[in-house]
């Protein structure tokens, strides 16, 4: 306890007061009744062990030598800077400054387990010792605060000696005063809810960070937690660079959300406390404690509106205590964690000029023993603050160091009471007067008034100093009533009730036994802050503030920003997202994604959090289900604003992306896959596809996101565009292949084969081939390998269907090689070798075309590289190889030709009719330069189950660019047939009206002669 030695030297602070005053001690030499925690004899050594199990590091009763009552010297290092240095002046919504430090009638009782004393009696008692003065508007609330606390501290100090005060915050409680979700919806206009106003830089960088978060979504918990924290901090840093007011407000709200759920990691050099150093050694990283983050947010975004008053106090000449607001600022800075300023105020107090002396003594400043006691008691408070872990940047208030500090604060409070009042009978009689029966209550009130007056007279420490220091210790202990009384707004109250929370839930102290339990067995708490626990604590604190019956703590329901803060504190993420959406669609969407990845995205209808649209449809039957604002809702709204933008460009030009591309990436992160696919398809349907580069970009993006169906649809759409509007046959074939549209590949290739046969040339000519088709023809292996690297199924499809057209082209290229040589070039084959190679290629094609009518029966299941419709023109091309001076066809070739002739002769009439039409078109093209020939859709089997395209009908071979009137089957670039050089042209040997039987008759005769020659030459086996 505090003791004044019998010598003439009163307690003094080393280096501050070297004088002595003859003040005899009035403190009894023995300990007070029932006290055994510390030694009562100053000269004796301290006990070997304290209630913590270790030797205490404070030695009471050594004021004579000037040593601190806590025994240890202040830290030798410079005091670190306090928290919350920001001084952005903002208006304090909610509670007026004049109501800080409320009287006990505010709704939060200051007299537990007893009736509150008669207010009139207390007012009369308070009037004693105070000067009558006219208070102007500037200091009225300060005087009111001091008066109200003078009334309440007496009962607290005597009745709650071992109790930190009444618990006002109940674990798990939720405020019921305001429907924050409805308020948030009502404050959000539809116009603001879906408008994109952020710059391209903000959009692009935000998307980059969220895509990176998505890439790491499947990592283990530790790594995922790190990436979430890193993403949250980088998003905040990005948004805070913007000058846009609404985005800045959204960043402020997001900063509070992220501080609670994803606190940033401590910088290595700030880990100075032993607890944090131990954590660093055993873990990958330590997060900044949430209390510190809350204080930083509060001091920066909602600084005290007493900043000017703090500066006024610090500017007071002669001593800070001479200012009327001195003690107010001491308590406010301590509550806000600004201990550097608190120490500066206390160290520079100089009670010789204290303003409160007018209340206590009616003089200007304390003198004599009162001055020495005031200085001594205040110095002990300074020594305690210097041991606060916060000065070592340790705000892990649930940790061991803070538990020790709170015990020291309780002990300092008891020591102050002993120093100030000792064994005063008035001190103990006060509790007795309220401890008995309720009968005789008026007598108890009278006793209370007399006892309080007696205590003021007997108190060695000036009453006002004693009063304020007790309040100061209550704040450091974390007394909830004191915190509420000194909070100016509901925001400050909810935050500070959370910041000064020791981590215990509803553990109501029960006198001496509870104090002993806390001392002997402190709860082992997690060394790192628990986001879920603090989130719940904030919500419970808000309930205590709003539902406590204090009209001063009211929410400005017409202020969206304040409603947003309340929603965050109440752990109502749904309502917070509504407010964020009205401020910034980009920020709201990003916060929703981070919340979803972090597992703290809770909607007001939380039962439906994990159900997609199909589940909701099943559950709803015929009635709509009311759902909260989900991540998917936000992202769809965001994409609808983003996708129409042509290009998003960074300010330095290093990044440029189309809006649709960013939109598709965002939709790929929707929880509801069905909804995401529908929205992506909607964007793709509206997207104009006009270039290979654009289509490749879209399909690659879709494949990378696992959207294979969309990629196939885009490829098919582009192939159809090429087929209908361009002459890029190769690109059309490639993109049909990438769309896995085998039938469409066949359509284009069959049309090309038909044009080759009708014109009897390799069509298109080599000089007119587009790059893709040229590569497929000249280096098919390389082209198919490249395609296989992108899509193996597409490469396989194309390789199966391409062979027929490639073989036809090879035949015509061999036939015309010599006549198409340029001056100075030499053919690659000798004439006879070239003819035999061409004959072999033609025989393969004829055999394939006739394979579907073997034995005269049509089999639609047979896959052919060339359709049977063009069999007669193919047989016509074979005429040049019979009746020649030197035999070109082998016996096998002759048998294949003969089989094809016989199969055709016995084929169904429909097949023969189609072949006749193809022959007629071919001969017409040879005899008329401006002939019209067309492709017409027809059936080529005995049923209507399968259909092909054959050379019948509506394609203008003489046009520059022909398009099918039926299904846009081919693209044709025509020209006069006679203008083309050929090695030979079988069509010239038949008149325009020749029939199939004419070709067959000539070919039969030629085959018979060739067979005879083969047998004559001894070739008996094919």
- Determine which of 159-163, 370-374, 497-501, 626-630 has the lowest per-residue pLDDT on average: 159-163
Note the maximum CA span of the chain.
152
* DSSP code per residue over 558-591: T-HHHHHHHHHHTT-HHHHHHHHHHH-HHHHHHH
End residue of a domain, out of 625, 650, 676: 625
Cβ neighbours for 850, distance < 8 A, ≥ 6 positions apart: 868, 871, 899, 900, 903, 904
State yes or no: pLDDT of 654 exceeds 50.
Answer: yes
What pLDDT does 883 receive?
A: 85
- Band the pLDDT of 88: cuts 50, 70, 90: very low
Residue 790: exposed, middle, or buried by beta-carbon count in 10 A (0-12, 13-18, 19+)?
A: middle
End residue of a domain, out of 567, 599, 625: 625
C-alpha span between 335 and 101 (Å, rounded): 13
Most confident listed range (260-274, 457-471, 502-516): 457-471
Most confident listed range (283-292, 372-381, 390-399, 652-661): 372-381
Q: How do residues 336-385 score in pLDDT, each as one tens digit?
A: 999 999 999 999 999 999 999 988 888 889 999 999 999 999 999 999 99
What pLDDT does 427 receive?
A: 55
Task: Identify which has the larger pLDDT, 552 or 22.
Answer: 552
656 DSSP β-pair partners? 649
304 cis-preceded (ω within 30 degrees of 0) = no
End residue of a domain, out of 625, 646, 676: 625
What pLDDT does 197 receive?
A: 87
> What share of residues in the chain are helix, strand, coil (percent, to 5)?
55, 0, 40
971 DSSP β-pair partners? 963
Count of all residues that appear for the chain in the document:
1022
Cβ neighbours for 704, distance < 8 A, ≥ 6 positions apart: none
Question: Quick check: is 592 in a domain?
Answer: yes
Check: CB of residue 15 under 8 Å from CB of residue 8.
no
What pLDDT does 71 receive?
A: 36
Check: CB of residue 834 under 8 Å from CB of residue 783.
no
Token duo for residue 604: 């007001």
Single out the residue of 636, 715, 647, 723 nearest to residue 683, CA to CA. Answer: 636
Cβ neighbours for 812, distance < 8 A, ≥ 6 positions apart: 756, 760, 761, 762
What pLDDT does 503 receive?
A: 76
Phi, psi of 836 (to 5 degrees): -65, -40
Rounded mean pLDDT, 878-892: 88
Phi, psi of 962 (to 5 degrees): -105, 145
Instruction: Annotate 875-896 with b (16+ C-beta within 10 A) or e (fewer).
Output: bbbbbbbbeeeebbbbbebbbb
Task: Identify which has the larger pLDDT, 235 or 285.
Answer: 235
State yes or no: pLDDT of 274 exceeds 90.
Answer: no
- Band the pLDDT of 457: cuts 50, 70, 90: confident
Reported in sequence order, the residue ranges of 865-994 that DSSP labels E, i.e. its strands, are 936-939, 947-950, 962-963, 971-972
Check: CB of residue 11 under 8 Å from CB of residue 372.
yes
- Determine which of 97-111, 120-134, 215-229, 734-748 has the lowest per-residue pLDDT on average: 97-111
Check: CB of residue 771 under 8 Å from CB of residue 726.
no
Token duo for residue 407: 């015990």
Question: Quick check: is 365 in a domain?
Answer: no
State yes or no: pLDDT of 436 exceeds 80.
Answer: no
- Band the pLDDT of 423: cuts 50, 70, 90: low
Q: DSSP 3-state assignment of 939? A: strand
Question: Quick check: is 217 in a domain?
Answer: yes
State yes or no: pLDDT of 27 exceeds 50.
Answer: no
Q: Alpha carbon of 428 to those of 260, 400, 439, 605, 691: distances in Å?
A: 45, 33, 20, 55, 93
Task: Identify which has the larger pLDDT, 547 or 97.
Answer: 547
Q: DSSP 3-state assignment of 370? A: helix
- Determine which of 81-85, 119-123, 419-423 has the lowest per-residue pLDDT on average: 81-85
Check: CB of residue 28 under 8 Å from CB of residue 422.
yes
C-alpha span between 1013 and 1022 (Å, rounded): 14
Q: How do residues 677-727 score in pLDDT, each as one tens digit?
A: 899 999 988 888 888 888 988 888 888 888 888 899 999 999 999 988 888
Alpha helices in 387-440 (DSSP H): 400-421, 425-433
Q: How do residues 575-617 score in pLDDT, each as one tens digit?
A: 999 999 999 999 999 999 999 998 898 654 445 445 555 555 5
Domain of residue 606 covers 180-290+548-625
Check: CB of residue 287 under 8 Å from CB of residue 266.
yes
Find where tokens 């039962």 sit.
607
* DSSP code per residue over 71-100: SSPPPSSPPPPPS----------SS-GGGS
Question: Quick check: is 241 in a domain?
Answer: yes
Question: Quick check: is 596 in a domain?
Answer: yes
Check: CB of residue 849 under 8 Å from CB of residue 873.
no
State yes or no: pLDDT of 75 exceeds 80.
Answer: no
For the chain, percent of residues with pLDDT exceeding 70: 67
What pLDDT does 255 receive?
A: 95
Rounded mean pLDDT, 801-815: 90
Single out the residue of 417, 416, 413, 424 nearest to residue 458, CA to CA. Answer: 424
Question: Quick check: is 304 in a domain?
Answer: no
CA 65, 69, 71, 76 dihedral sign is negative
Cβ neighbours for 425, distance < 8 A, ≥ 6 positions apart: none
Question: Quick check: is 318 in a domain?
Answer: no
N- to C-terminal Cα separation, the chain:
123
Secondary structure of 788-839 as H, E, C letters: HHHCHHHHHHHHHHHHHHHHHHHHHHHHCCCCCCCCCCCCCCCHHHHHHHHH
Task: Identify which has the larger pLDDT, 77 or 170.
Answer: 170
Task: Work out the mean pLDDT of the chain and round it to a whole number.
Answer: 74
Question: Quick check: is 295 in a domain?
Answer: no
CA 601, 603, 605, 609 dihedral sign is negative
Most confident listed range (296-305, 544-553, 991-1000): 991-1000
For the chain, percent of residues with pLDDT exceeding 90: 38
Rounded mean pLDDT, 746-758: 89
State yes or no: pLDDT of 220 exceeds 90.
Answer: no
CB atoms within 10 A of CB 66: 17
What pLDDT does 929 receive?
A: 58
Check: CB of residue 603 under 8 Å from CB of residue 574.
yes
Token duo for residue 468: 């304020």
- Determine which of 18-22, 391-395, 765-769, 846-850 has the lowest per-residue pLDDT on average: 18-22
What pLDDT does 165 receive?
A: 61
Cβ neighbours for 519, distance < 8 A, ≥ 6 positions apart: 50, 51, 52, 407
- Band the pLDDT of 1021: cuts 50, 70, 90: confident
Count of the separate structural domains present in the chain: 2
- Band the pLDDT of 151: cuts 50, 70, 90: very low
C-alpha span between 778 and 776 (Å, rounded): 6
Token duo for residue 571: 């752990």
CB atoms within 10 A of CB 843: 23
What pLDDT does 142 receive?
A: 40
């Amino acid at each position: 306890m505090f003791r004044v030695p019998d010598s003439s030297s009163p307690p003094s602070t080393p280096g501050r007061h070297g004088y002595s005053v003859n003040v005899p001690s009035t403190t009894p030499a023995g300990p007070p009744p029932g006290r055994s925690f510390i030694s009562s004899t100053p000269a004796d050594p301290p006990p070997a062990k304290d209630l913590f199990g270790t030797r205490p590091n404070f030695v009471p009763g050594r004021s004579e030598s000037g040593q601190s009552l806590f025994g240890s010297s202040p830290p030798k290092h410079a005091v670190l800077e306090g928290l919350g240095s920001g001084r952005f002046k903002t208006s304090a919504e909610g509670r007026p400054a004049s109501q800080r430090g409320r009287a006990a009638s505010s709704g939060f009782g200051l007299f537990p387990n007893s009736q509150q004393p008669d207010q009139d009696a207390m007012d009369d008692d308070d009037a004693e010792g105070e000067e009558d003065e006219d208070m102007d508007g500037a200091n009225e609330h300060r005087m009111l605060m001091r008066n109200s606390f003078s009334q309440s501290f007496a009962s607290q100090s005597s009745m709650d000696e071992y109790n930190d005060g009444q618990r006002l915050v109940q674990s798990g409680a939720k405020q019921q005063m305001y429907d924050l979700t409805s308020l948030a919806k009502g404050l959000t206009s539809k116009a603001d809810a879906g408008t994109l106003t952020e710059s391209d830089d903000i959009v692009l960088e935000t998307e980059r960070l969220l895509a990176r978060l998505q890439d790491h979504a499947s990592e283990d918990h530790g790594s995922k937690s790190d990436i979430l924290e890193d993403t949250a901090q980088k998003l905040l840093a990005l948004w805070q660079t913007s000058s846009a007011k609404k985005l800045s407000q959204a960043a402020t709200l997001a900063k509070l959300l992220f501080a609670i759920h994803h606190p940033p990691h401590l910088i290595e050099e700030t880990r100075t406390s032993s607890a944090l150093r131990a954590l660093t050694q055993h873990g990958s990283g330590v997060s900044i404690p949430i209390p510190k983050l809350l204080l930083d947010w509060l001091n920066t975004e909602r600084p005290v509106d007493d900043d000017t008053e703090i500066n006024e106090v610090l500017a007071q000449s002669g001593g800070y205590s001479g200012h009327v607001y001195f003690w107010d600022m001491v308590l406010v800075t301590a509550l806000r964690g600004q201990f550097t300023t608190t120490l500066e105020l206390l160290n520079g107090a100089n009670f010789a000029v204290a303003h409160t002396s007018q209340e206590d003594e009616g003089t200007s400043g304390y003198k004599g023993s009162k001055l020495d006691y005031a200085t001594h008691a205040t110095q002990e408070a300074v020594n305690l603050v210097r041991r606060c872990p916060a000065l070592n940047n340790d705000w892990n208030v649930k940790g061991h160091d803070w538990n020790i500090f709170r015990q020291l604060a309780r002990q300092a409070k008891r020591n102050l009471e002993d120093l100030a009042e000792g064994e005063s009978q008035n001190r103990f009689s006060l509790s007795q007067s309220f401890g008995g029966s309720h009968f005789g209550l008026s007598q108890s009130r009278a006793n209370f008034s007399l006892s309080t007056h007696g205590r003021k007279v007997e108190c060695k420490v000036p009453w006002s100093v004693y009063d304020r220091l007790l309040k100061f210790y209550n704040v450091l202990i974390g007394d909830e009533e004191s915190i509420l009384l000194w909070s100016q707004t509901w925001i400050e109250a909810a935050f500070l009730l959370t910041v000064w929370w020791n981590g215990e839930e509803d553990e109501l102290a029960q006198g001496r036994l509870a104090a002993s339990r806390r001392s002997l067995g402190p709860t082992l708490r997690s060394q790192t802050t628990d986001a879920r626990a603090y989130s719940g604590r904030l919500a419970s604190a808000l309930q205590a503030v709003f539902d406590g019956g204090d009209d001063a703590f009211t929410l400005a329901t017409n202020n969206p920003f304040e409603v947003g803060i309340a929603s965050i504190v109440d752990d109502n993420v749904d309502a917070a997202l509504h407010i964020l959406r009205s401020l910034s669609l980009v920020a709201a969407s990003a916060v929703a994604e981070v919340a979803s990845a972090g597992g703290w995205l809770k909607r007001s209808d939380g039962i439906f959090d994990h159900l997609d649209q199909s589940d909701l449809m099943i559950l709803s039957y015929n009635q709509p289900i009311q759902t909260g604002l989900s991540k998917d809702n936000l992202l769809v709204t965001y994409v609808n604003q983003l996708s129409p933008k042509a290009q998003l460009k960074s300010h330095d030009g290093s990044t440029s992306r189309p809006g649709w591309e960013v939109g598709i990436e965002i939709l790929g992160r929707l929880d509801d896959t069905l909804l995401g696919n529908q929205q992506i398809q909607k964007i793709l349907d509206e997207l104009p596809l006009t270039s290979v580069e654009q289509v490749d970009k879209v399909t690659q993006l879709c494949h990378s996101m696992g959207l294979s169906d969309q990629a196939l649809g885009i490829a098919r759409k582009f192939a159809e565009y090429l087929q209908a509007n361009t002459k890029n046959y190769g690109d059309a074939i490639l993109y049909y292949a990438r769309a896995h549209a085998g039938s469409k590949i066949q359509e284009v290739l069959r049309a090309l084969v038909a044009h080759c046969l009708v014109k009897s040339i390799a069509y298109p000519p080599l000089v007119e081939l587009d790059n893709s088709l040229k590569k497929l023809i000249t280096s098919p292996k390389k082209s198919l390998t490249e395609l296989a690297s992108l899509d193996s199924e597409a490469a396989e499809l194309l390789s199966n269907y391409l062979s027929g057209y490639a073989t036809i082209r090879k035949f015509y290229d061999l036939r015309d090689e010599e006549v198409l040589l340029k001056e100075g070039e030499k053919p690659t084959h000798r004439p006879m070798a070239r003819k035999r190679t061409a004959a072999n290629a033609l025989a393969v094609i004829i055999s394939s075309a006739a394979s579907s009518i073997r034995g005269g029966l049509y089999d639609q299941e047979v896959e052919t590289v060339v359709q049977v419709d063009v069999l007669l023109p193919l047989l016509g091309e074979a005429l040049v190889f019979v009746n020649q001076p030197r035999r070109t066809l082998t016996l096998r070739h002759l048998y294949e030709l003969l089989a094809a002739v016989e199969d055709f002769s016995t084929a169904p009439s429909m097949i023969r009719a189609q072949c006749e039409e193809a022959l007629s078109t071919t001969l017409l093209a040879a005899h008329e330069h401006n002939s019209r020939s067309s492709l017409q859709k027809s059936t080529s089997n005995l049923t209507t189950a399968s259909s092909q395209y054959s050379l019948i009908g509506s394609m203008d071979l003489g046009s520059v660019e022909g398009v099918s009137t039926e299904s846009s089957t081919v693209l044709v670039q025509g020209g006069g047939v006679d203008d083309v050089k050929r090695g030979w042209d079988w069509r010239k040997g038949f008149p325009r009206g020749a029939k199939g039987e004419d070709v067959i008759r000539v070919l039969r005769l030629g085959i018979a002669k060739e067979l005879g020659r083969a047998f004559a030459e001894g070739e008996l086996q094919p």
